[in-house]
């Protein structure tokens, strides 16, 4: 994924750069959608741990438990 170019926006954008930007936006939307789906499906929005390590552990445990239930 490429990010937005830094500095002043160009006056004209070539087709290849515009196509790459659109592909990047599609991928970014897909990834953000998966995060939202995980937050709803695994109740990750309810993780209230204070430390990042504890949050990661809680998320990993929920994902592992969910995958065990689905298989």
pLDDT at 23: 92
Residue 36 lies in a domain: yes
Residues making up the chain, counted from first to last: 71
Residue 19 lies in a domain: yes
- If one counts the domains in the chain, the total is 1
Residue 10 lies in a domain: no
Nearest to 34 by CA among 63, 5, 68: 63
Residue 6 lies in a domain: no
| Owning domain of residue 27 | 15-70
The radius of gyration computed from the CA coordinates of the chain, to the nearest angstrom, equals 18
For 25-68, what is each residue's pLDDT tens digit? 999 898 888 878 877 877 777 888 888 898 888 888 888 887 77
Predicted TM-score of the model (pTM) = 0.55
CA distance 28 to 22: 10
Tell me the CA end-to-end span of the chain in Å, nearest whole number.
33
Residue 47 lies in a domain: yes
């Amino acid at each position: 994924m490429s990010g937005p170019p830094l500095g002043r926006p160009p006056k004209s954008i070539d087709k290849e750069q515009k196509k790459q930007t659109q592909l990047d936006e599609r991928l970014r939307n897909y990834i953000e959608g998966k995060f939202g789906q995980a937050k709803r499906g695994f109740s990750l929005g309810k993780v209230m741990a204070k430390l990042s390590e504890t949050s990661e552990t809680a998320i990993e445990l929920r994902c592992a438990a969910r995958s065990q239930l689905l298989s």
